[in-house]
Amino acid sequence: MREETRNARQEQIEQAAYAVLEEKGYAATSMLAIAKRARASNETLYNWYGDKTGLFRALVVRNAADVRRLLQDGLDSGEPPLAVLEALGPRLLALLISPRAIQLNRAAAADPTGELGAVISEFGRETVAPLIGELLARVGGTGALEFEDPGESVALYLSLLVGDLQIRRAIGRQSPLDDKAITRRSSRAHAQFLRLKGR
C-alpha cells in the first residue's frame, strides 16, 4: 500500500476511533466497532496497531505531535520571543482543550492499566514543557522576564493558561470554550504571567 493511501486510511480509522469513543466510552470501545465504523477489516487494525491500547497510543502520539509542532514552529519563526509567547497562548490552549484532547484524557482515566496515562504524560507534558521552557528562556534573554527556575516558570505559565480547565472539561463540568473565550483567557494568563515574572 502506498504511503499516501495508508496515511489517508489511518486518518479514517482514527476518526472512527474518536467517534466510537465518544459514543461508547473507552471501556466499551472495541477494535471491531472501530473497524466497522471505518469500513476496515479487523485484521487491518490489529496488523497496524496491535490492539486497542496500541491504537489509542497512536492517537495520543498524533495529537501530541500537533502541540509540539506548534511550539517548534514558534521557536523557529524568528519573531520576537515575547510576541511568540503571546501568540502561542490561544493556540496552545485550543489544542489542550480540543475535543480530541478531552476524549483522550477521558480514555486514559478509564484505562485500568495506566498505559494511556503514561503515554499522554510522555508525549504531552514531558515533551512540551522543555519547549515552553526554551521559549521562556528566550523571552528572559530579551530582558522581559526574570526567573531562576525554568521548570517553575513553565508550571506557573501552564497553571495560569490552563489551570483545571482541562480536567473540568474531561469530567463534564465545563462547557467548551469558543474562540473569543479562549483568546480572553489566554490574554489574561499572558498579562498575569508578565506581572509575576516580568522585570
Residue among 141, 106, 132, 130 nearest 120 (CA) = 106
When the pLDDT of each residue in the chain is averaged and rounded to a whole number, the result is 92
Query: Higher-confidence residue: 1 or 168?
Result: 168
Could you give the dihedral angle defined by the CA atoms of residues 187, 164, 88 and 179, in that order, rounded to the nearest 10 degrees? -60
User: What residue ranges define each of the domains in the chain, with the CATH number in brackets?
Assistant: 1-50 (1.10.10.60), 55-197 (1.10.357.10)
The pLDDT tens digits of the residues spanning 69-115 come to 988 999 999 999 999 999 999 999 999 999 999 999 999 999 988 98
1 — pLDDT class (breaks 50, 70, 90): low
| pLDDT at position 159 | 97
CB-CB contact of 87 with 74 (8 Å): yes
Could you give the count of Cα atoms lying within 13 Å of 52 in the half-sphere of its Cβ? Answer: 21
- Cell of residue 112, nine digits: 485500568
Full-model pTM: 0.88
Query: Higher-confidence residue: 190 or 199?
Result: 190
Contacts of 87 (CB under 8 A, 6+ apart): 74, 79
Whole-angstrom Cα distance, residue 181 to residue 56?
30
Does 3 have pLDDT greater than 80?
no
The pLDDT tens digits of the residues spanning 21-53 come to 999 999 999 999 999 999 999 999 999 999 998
Query: Higher-confidence residue: 66 or 174?
Result: 174
The pLDDT tens digits of the residues spanning 106-153 come to 999 999 889 899 999 998 889 889 999 999 999 999 999 998 898 999
Does 2 have pLDDT greater than 80?
no
Does 188 have pLDDT greater than 70?
yes
165 — pLDDT class (breaks 50, 70, 90): very high
